[in-house]
Amino acid sequence: MKEKNNNVSNNMWKRIIQKKWFFPALYLTIAALLLTGVVWFQNSNKTAEIEEDFAELGEEFTEQTPYDEDDDVQAVMEQQETIKMPVAEEKNIEIITKFFDYEADESDQQNALIEYNNRFYQSTGVDLAANDGETFDVVASLSGTVTEVKDDPILGNVVVLSHDEEIKTYYASLQDVAVAEGDDLTQGDVIGTSGKNLFGKENGNHVHFELRKTGEEVNPEQFFNQPLGKLASYAMDESTEDEAEAEDKDKDDDDDEQEEPEEEMIE
């Protein structure tokens, strides 16, 4: 019985092999299997290469310093101009009158008072003079545009520069002026020479320098050698503003018949 079944199977295979389509179909099947194997092998190699590349890339990212927003801020600050004293040679210059600060100690406050017509005024800037009392060049503290040049009978020649972020610099008590309104200056360009004026006549040959942010005077000594961005982000304390307004009101109530300098020295 078993032999009979084997004969049947053999006869069936013989009949199939004798068919015309058998060998073409066999060749196509083998070719398809070979092609599938080749494609699979190539894809497996590419996948391994991609995984290796991503692994290397991941290692590079992990080796890099983590992102820090403060680093970007610091980089921007380093690119900004630094606020300089308005003189060419700082080592030969001294501050002879300070900015009046309500929070300063008594000695500094006394050194920030200016006597004029038998009255004392709070300094809204600093007065700079040479150690030998001689005339010196006054230069632009920051790059900017000259927006005002005037000859004031009390303050002497005055030059005003405008800068970014609503910042202005003021230079008074100038003997000679080397710029004109509308000039664009680079930090360190000569504005004029120091001189004398009536308001600060006890200081002799000097320059009066003011630094303002959005119209408010700030202490220049706090910002010398500091990036411009520090002043741009500065906000005046409200209590200081109130005290300053009260002081100005007291000034207005005094004798109006005396000849006085402009209330804030430089407008």
| pLDDT level of residue 17 (50, 70, 90 thresholds) | low
Q: Is the pLDDT of residue 165 over 60?
A: yes
> Is 90-252 a CATH 1.10.8.80 domain?
no
Phi, psi of 9 (to 5 degrees): -65, -45
Q: Is the pLDDT of residue 266 over 50?
A: no
Mean pLDDT of 221-238: 84
pLDDT digits (tens, 9 = 90+) for 21-70: 666 776 777 777 777 776 777 766 666 666 666 566 555 544 555 545 55
Whole-model pTM: value is 0.63
pLDDT value at residue 255: 45
Mean pLDDT of 128-132: 95
User: Hey, where are the domains in the chain?
Assistant: 2-61, 90-252
- Residue 13 half-sphere exposure, CB side, CA atoms within 13 Å? 5
**What letters, b where the CB count within 10 A reaches 16 and e where it falls short, cover 5-14?**
eeeeeeeeee
pLDDT value at residue 192: 97
pLDDT digits (tens, 9 = 90+) for 68-96: 555 544 444 446 899 999 999 888 999 99
**What letters, b where the CB count within 10 A reaches 16 and e where it falls short, cover 129-152?**
bbeeeebbbbbbbbbbebeebeeb
92: left (phi over 0), alpha (psi -120 to 50) or beta: alpha
Between β-strands 207-213 and 216-218, what pairing exists: parallel, antiparallel or unpaired? antiparallel
**Which residues have a Cβ under 8 Å from the Cβ of 154 and sit 6 or more positions away?**
116, 197, 198, 199, 259, 261, 262
Over the chain, what HEC string results? CHHHHHHHHHHHHHHHHCCCCHHHHHHHHHHHHHHHHHHHHHHHHHHHHHHHHHHHHHHHHHHCCCCCHHHHHHHHHHHCCECCCCECCHHHEEEEECCCCCCCCHHHHHCCEEEECCEEEECCCEEEEECCCCCCEEECCCCEEEEEEEEECCCEEEEEEEECCCEEEEEEEEEEECCCCCCEECCCCEEEEEECCCCCHHHCCEEEEEEEECCEEECHHHHCCCEHHHHHCCCCCHHHHHHHHHHHHHHHCCCCCCCCCCCCCCC
Mean of per-residue pLDDT scores for the chain: 79
For residues 163 and 144, the answer to whether their CB atoms sit within 8 Å is yes
For residue 63, give both structure tokens: 């080796």
For residue 228, give both structure tokens: 């411009």
